[in-house]
Chains A and B, each alone.
Chain A
Amino acid sequence: MGASGSGKTSMRSLIFSNNPASLTARLGATIDVEQNHVRFLGDLILNLWDCGGQDAFMDSYLTTQRSTIFQHVGVMIYVFDVETRGMSKDLEYYRECLEGLQQFSPDAAIFLLVHKMDLAREPKNTTFDKKKKELQEASGEASVTVFGTSIYDESLYKAWSSIVHTLIPNAAVLSKHLTTFAGACSATEVILFERTTFLVIATSSPLSPPGQSGSPVDDIDAHQLDPTRYERTSELIKAFKHSCSRVREEFHSLEMELHNFTAVLDEMTKNTYVLIIVHDPTIETAALKLNIRMARRKFEELQGDSLIS
């Protein structure tokens, strides 16, 4: 949901269709509602409703189509253009959408994306904070999560990763197993990505659980890794996948032994990729790959569970 031209379809094409940001200019306006079924994690089907933002459509969503649109909503994503001129009208529609949502699907999570941050006036942070406050006031009681996003950098992946995170039922279990796995690999960190979108599904938690066999996981805080690393990784891999597809190749796996760390990125299950980051220079990539192979079965199982529940 969001006003006309705020960037809803651009966002969708970037995350789910593997298109580069430069091609989004060619997208036309969305007429009415475009329904998209996106297979996420194989069998978890996300039903994406890309709603056209022109006023006529918005009015009809709120009146005649009200029950169809707002029923069975898991997540509502409302997109605001950061530099919009008609903010008051935007907010009015937003409030009405909130009402509709509370009426038909009160449990839905709400995400507000302040989009096109690349065009925001400097200083960007202040602009965003002001906007965020304004939106939180407008939301009243409802709990909302606000992100500043742009299709030209990693911020979009950050927002979508946390959106997707709320939709995965057993994220905590996955995270616990990843932590165990990280311990077994002497890894600093293990990150699980979804295959097609390369959104982050789960990460290992920094503290190694007591009584765990294998060497303790290094304290992640001591490493002070870049806080934007997950999103940047999604962005980099996505870009590289795109360059691979241009030469009709398919990206499959990656291993690196660089100055600062060793990393292996490989398929975990048929819908996920795992990235293992090791800062211990004595660990060989072949050993990490072997560990991935050994863990594959368990994670397939876990994923199977997640879809039944």
Chain B
Amino acid sequence: MVNGPPSYAATSTTTPIVNRPQLNGHRTASSDAVTRTKILLLGLRRAGKTSIQQVLFNNLPPKQTFYLETTMRTVKHAFDTVIPLEIWDCPGNITVETLGAPLSHFSTMIFVIDIRDLYNNPISKLVEFIVAAYRENPNMSLEVFVHKAEKLQEDDKIENFRQIHERVSDRLLDISPEYEQIQLNFHLTSVYDHSLHEAFSKVLHKLVESLPYLEDLLNVFCANSQSPKAFLFDTTSRLYIATDASPVDSATHNLCCDYLQMLNSFGSLYKSATPHSRKPLPFTPPPSASSTSSLSPVPPRSSSSTSPGTPTSSTTRLTPHPSKDLFYPSAATSLHPSTPGTTLTYHLITSQLALLALLPTSVYEGRRGLLEFNVVFFREGVQEICEVEKETRDGR
């Protein structure tokens, strides 16, 4: 969809065909009774709505989005992260009337505009939806993704982005001065880099009610672990759910995204077809183990492979029959060979969430035990929050 020719005539919405979405009430196609937070994905034909949805939640390589077919009827995608989401991927010709559910059922509306599309059509369509949304559900957060940013050079990109922003605001003011107070959020996005992940993460933050508590936990973790930056990521979509109070530097965010992607790919790469023999091995010293003591002066780390009682979270795995539930994968990569370097750590927190933290390498190597102790506390906190979240949703 992305590489389509810039034939703006094709975006006309005057066709009277109405693809009435199949309705089964707003409680949706998903079989479980959980109340899902609904996100509406709108935009003209070929704007990139399905691309966005597929790249984020279905791990589609951005290059493949070219082959996606036009969405003909509203598709509802359920996605479970810290909160259960439901994303409505709508066809380009949908209107407020044909949507099949009142706007008040949605928490967020995302309108996707092709950045090269400066003409009236998408803007009037967007304004139409904004007005309707404001009337029916003033609490709904309204997001505009100015999409396919990769198609333009840096200068044009900013210019078009600004123009689209301006035109939408002008049109709203033309209709009524009271619309000036509508809060609209504009994001410049592209499936080919991390801007889409960052923008969607920000959209998600407004929906997570427990966000302040998660952020508090992250702040405490950072303060106690000397970490300059920590993210709580959703592992499959690579969206960050929460971060600590320090400002998000997009370079660091991108690095974390890439790191997560690499770990996800590695996970299946060396997967063994046979289950491991869980029986404890006889004590086998590493070569010339006698000299190990002189080589590892760092006290909290144990040099022998089988000595129990190392103060790491992986001690849980030393029990004869470790259950899968108790094991949380972790990883670390050091980013600079010299002494003051940084280490990027990864700790799985729940089955969907992972903590990524930047740490000084000296802290990671010298006080790993304490660090992992902090992680365990953080994990307990997050799990508790998730539990409460789930209970309230089930109870509703």
Contacts and interface: CB of A to CB of B under 8 A. Distances in A.
A88 interface: no
A152 B282 CA distance: 45
B303 A282 contact: no
Interface in A234-291: 236-237, 239-240, 243-244, 246-247, 249-261, 263, 267, 277, 279-284, 286-288, 290-291
Given A225-B270, A253-B333, A244 B255 contact: yes
Contacts of A261: 270-272
Nearest to B332: A255
B195 interface: no
A233 interface: yes
A250 B342 CA distance: 10
Contact of A259 (B262, B267, B284): B267
A244 B335 contact: yes
Contacts of A247: 251-252, 254-255
Interface of B: 63, 251-252, 254-255, 258-259, 262-263, 265-274, 276-278, 280-282, 284, 286-288, 292, 295-296, 301-306, 310, 312, 314, 317-318, 322, 324, 327, 329-337, 341-342
Contact of A290 (B270, B286, B332): B286
Contact of B286 (A229, A240, A279, A294): A294
B303 A281 contact: no
B329 A258 contact: yes
Contact of B270 (A252, A254, A260, A284): A260
Contacts of A85: none
Interface stretch (A42-50, A92-100, A180-188): A180-188
Contacts of A294: 286-288, 295
Nearest to B306: A282
Contacts of A224: 272-274
B281 A214 contact: no
- Of B278, B282, B287, B324, most buried by chain A (CB within 10 Å of CB) is B287
A160 B312 CA distance: 40
- Of A214, A233, A250, A254, most buried by chain B (CB within 10 Å of CB) is A254
A232 interface: yes
A interface residue count range (under 10 / 10 to 19 / 20 to 34 / 35 or more): 35 or more
For the complex, would chain A's binding face be called helix, strand, loop or mixed by DSSP majority?
mixed
A299 B335 CA distance: 24
Q: Nearest 10 A-B pairs (CB), nearest first?
A: A287-B305, A224-B273, A243-B258, A256-B331, A223-B272, A249-B335, A254-B333, A247-B251, A260-B271, A258-B329
A259 B286 contact: no
Given A222-B272, A291-B286, 9 more contacts: A152-B63, A184-B286, A246-B251, A250-B337, A252-B335, A256-B263, A260-B268, A286-B302, A294-B286
Contacts, number: 160
A103 interface: no
A250 B259 CA distance: 13
A165 B249 CA distance: 42
Contacts of B332: 254-255
Nearest to B250: A247
Contacts of A233: 266, 269
Given A240-B262, A254-B333, A259-B267, A290 B284 contact: no
30 contacts: A215-B282, A222-B272, A222-B274, A225-B270, A226-B270, A226-B271, A233-B269, A236-B265, A240-B258, A243-B259, A250-B337, A252-B333, A254-B334, A257-B329, A257-B330, A259-B329, A260-B271, A280-B277, A281-B276, A282-B306, A282-B318, A286-B302, A286-B310, A287-B305, A288-B305, A290-B295, A290-B296, A290-B303, A291-B287, A294-B295
B342 A249 contact: yes
A295 interface: yes
A226 B335 CA distance: 28
Contacts of B334: 252-254
A280 B281 contact: yes
A150 B47 CA distance: 30
Given A239-B258, A243-B254, A260-B272, A282 B281 contact: yes
Contact of A263 (B251, B270, B278): B270
Contacts of A185: 286
Contacts of A254: 331-334
A254 B344 CA distance: 9
Contacts of A256: 263, 266, 329-331
A280 to B, nearest CB: 6
Interface string A174-193: 00000000001110110000
A124 interface: no
Nearest to A225: B270
B333 to A, nearest CB: 4
Given A282-B305, A294-B288, A249 B281 contact: no
Nearest to A189: B270
Contacts of A259: 267, 324, 327, 329
Contacts of A223: 272-274
A189 B271 CA distance: 12
A293 interface: yes
A234 B317 CA distance: 30
A281 B271 contact: no
Contacts of B273: 222-225
B62 to A, nearest CB: 10
A249 B336 contact: yes
Nearest to B292: A290
B265 A232 contact: yes
- Of B258, B272, B280, B295, most buried by chain A (CB within 10 Å of CB) is B272
Contact of A281 (B278, B287, B330): B278
Given A240-B258, A249-B255, A294-B287, A287 B271 contact: no
Contacts of B262: 236-237, 239-240
Contacts of A287: 286, 303-305
A254 B63 CA distance: 28
Contact of B302 (A244, A258, A280, A284): A284
B121 to A, nearest CB: 31
A293 B295 CA distance: 9
Contacts of A215: 281-282, 284
A280 B279 CA distance: 9
